[in-house]
Amino acid sequence: MTLPRQRIAILGGGPGGYEAALVAAQLGADVTVIDSDGLGGACVLTDCVPSKSLIETSNAMTLLKRSAGLGIATGGLANVNAARLYERITDLARAQSRDITARVAAEGVRVIAAEGRLVGPSTVVRAGDEEIKADAILIATGALPRVLPGAEPDGERILTWRQLYDLTEIPRDLIVVGSGVTGAEFASAYQALGSRVTLVSSRDRVLPQEDEDAASLIEDVFRRSGMTVLGRSRAQAVRRDIDGVTVTLEDGRTVTGSHCLLTVGMIPRTEGCGLDQAGVKVDARGFIEVDRVSRTSVPGVYAAGDCTGVLMLASVAAMQGRIAMWHELGEAVGPLRLGHVAATIFTDPEIATVGVSQRAVTAGEVSARVLKLPLATNPRAKMAGFHDGFVKLFTSPGTGVVLGGVIVAPRASELILAVSVAMEQRLTVEQLAHTFAVYPSLSGSITEAARKLMEFTPDSL
Ligand SMILES: Cc1cc2nc3c(=O)[nH]c(=O)nc-3n(C[C@H](O)[C@H](O)[C@H](O)COP(=O)(O)OP(=O)(O)OC[C@H]3O[C@@H](n4cnc5c(N)ncnc54)[C@H](O)[C@@H]3O)c2cc1C
């Protein structure tokens, strides 16, 4: 006798939702995804994919600016064709969403284009007019840009990052409010694209949550590029003027510009999802509470991704979604391991991190040896004509096992994998040092840092 297929309903088709759908379908479940805006979610349509596409263009501009030093005569300043740039970005995002839709359909997943919500404390979901009975539900509805009272976006001059791609120009004087990851990435990109950028940061330095050495380096790069960085400056209000904007700071100072981009965090997108009626518990900020296998407070209801506020990354959303399905469908599953997440801030240069942080080491929470090797001595960096960056490794003082690292470099997002593999596989600095790196290469700095750390391991004493 064949058992009936388990029915899974997924609310939201971003990475948290569609990756879960793929796993559940692969495991033989009958899967329905309900999504209101398009598969791929905000990740593909408005956030991660568009911003990284924009940054590819801004990186090309930086390269052009550096080209004179590499012996190339460009014959004047390169200009950005804003219409073409934004069109490319939106086309790319839509194409990616279509690819995901096709992939999900090929796996036999049913997709309903509608708003969905939970119906009471059960595993029933309403999608438009339809009621879907499921054995388990996954909520993966994502998050929305937080709006400051007194600084409401108008989509023309006062913008969230989701409205940037509707512009017809590169902002002449862009004020970026918020110096977290999103603010720093857009400030870096638009400065390279030709905007005069003012970055308004409420904290002492930009990227306050990140590795201090990396954040200081980026702030220095920002200032050298001509960006104005206003530290300890909290924006209170943003007003639209005739042909621009005025940002009023808490201490009464004002900053004027042509456009203002607000990057002041995210709120969970759960309004109207029926969480209250279903009894799904949320935290003080409204994010859905989940355990490390993505279970909510209601049996049979899981949640994944930005709506949980666990760690707002596409890779984490996808993993939370997959874990939920493995758990529900009886597969062997380990809990989410946040300490192993590799992340990148796509400034120029990029900041990539994995494993333990300098903050934890300095606070004495983790015992680690730390070695920081500037990229300025790397032969490949010299050939390419860049000087800003470093490789930092954290290792266990007793065993020499790699505990994590920070890389600041162009394409650090690619380089960090070597450190991730070393950490995941519990390799020692000696094993890393004995690994061949190409000469000349930036990754040569990783093995060089490992060689330097070998001086401290017990075997080499
Ligand atoms: C500017 C920016 C850049 C980023 N860059 C990166 C990056 O480089 N790397 C990285 O890993 N992460 C990045 N992120 C984070 C990443 O985009 C998010 O972590 C990711 O989108 C979370 O996926 P999700 O599935 O939780 O939600 P989302 O991607 O937001 O998808 C949620 C989906 O649910 C749908 N939905 C919502 N409510 C309902 C409802 N009631 N009924 C039906 N459907 C509904 C929405 O329409 C949407 O399609 C970036 C974020 C921002 C803001």
Residue in 47, 112, 159, 346 to alter for ligand 1 test, most ligand atoms within 8 A of Cβ: 47
Bigger pLDDT: 430 or 124?
430
Q: Is the CB of 145 under 6 A from ligand 1?
A: no
Residue 400 CB less than 6 A away from ligand 1: no
Which tokens in the block code for residue 299?
A: 């049996």
Unique residue bearing structure tokens 């009272």: 149
Three-state secondary-structure class, residue 44: helix
- Residues 161, 352: Cα–Cα separation, whole Å: 22
Q: Whose CA is nearest to atom 8 of ligand 1?
A: 48
pLDDT-above-70 percentage for the chain? 98
Whether the CB of 37 sits within 6 Å of ligand 1: yes
Which atom of ligand 1 lies nearest, measured to the CA of 18? 25
Whole-number average pLDDT of the chain:
95
From 313, 348, 354, the mutation candidate for ligand 1 (largest count of ligand atoms within 8 A of CB) is 313
Ligand 1 mean position, distance from CA 22 (Å): 17
Lowest mean pLDDT among 113-122, 184-193, 322-331: 113-122
Ligand 1 lined by 16 (C-beta under 6 Å): yes
Lowest mean pLDDT among 76-85, 156-165, 311-320: 76-85
Ligand 1 contact via 322 beta carbon (within 6 Å): no
Q: Which atom of ligand 1 is nearest to the CA of 143?
A: 30
- Which pLDDT value is given to residue 123? 81
Arithmetic mean of pLDDT, 153-179: 97
Cis? peptide before 440, omega within 30° of 0: yes
Question: 99 pLDDT exceeds 50?
Answer: yes
What average pLDDT does range 197-208 have in this prediction? 95
| 1 pLDDT tier (thresholds 50, 70, 90) | low
Looking at residue 461, its pLDDT comes to: 38
Which of 18, 19, 274 is CA-nearest to residue 126? Answer: 274
Q: What is the mean pLDDT of residues 339-350?
A: 97
Type of residue at 125: V
The yes-or-no verdict on residue 458 having pLDDT over 60 is no
CB of residue 51 inside a 6 A radius of ligand 1: yes
43 lines ligand 1 (CB under 6 A): yes
| Ligand 1 pocket test target in 33, 43, 351, 353 with most atoms within 8 Å of CB | 43
pLDDT attached to residue 438:
98
What's the pLDDT tens digit per position in 300-311? 999 999 999 999
Residue 34 host element (H or E): strand 30-35
Ligand 1 geometric centre to CA of 196 (Å): 29
The answer for residues whose C-beta is within 8 angstroms of residue 59's C-beta and 6 or more apart is 192, 348, 410
Ligand 1 midpoint to CA 86 (Å): 20
> How remote is the CA of residue 43 from the centroid of ligand 1, in Å?
4
| 259 within ligand 1 shell (Cβ under 6 A) | no
Question: Rg of the chain's alpha carbons, rounded to an integer?
Answer: 24
User: Ligand 1: which residue has its CA nearest to atom 15?
Assistant: 313
Q: What is the pTM for the complete model shown?
A: 0.96
For the cut 60, the answer to whether the pLDDT of residue 283 exceeds it is yes
CB of 321 sitting under 6 A from ligand 1: no
- Is the shortest distance between the CB of 41 and ligand 1 below 6 Å? yes
pLDDT of residue 459: 46
Q: Average pLDDT for residues 65-94, to the nearest whole number?
A: 90
pLDDT band at 53 (very low <50, low <70, confident <90, very high): very high
pLDDT of residue 270: 96
Which segment of 58-72, 127-141, 189-203 scores lowest on mean pLDDT? 58-72
pLDDT at 460: 41
Amino acid, single-letter form, for residue 23: V
Q: Are the CB atoms for 345 and 207 separated by under 8 Å?
A: yes
Q: How far is CA 57 from CA 64, 188, 198, 403, 414, in A?
A: 11, 12, 20, 34, 18
Q: Indicate the pairing of strand 266-268 with strand 143-145.
A: antiparallel
- Mean pLDDT, residues 24-52: 98
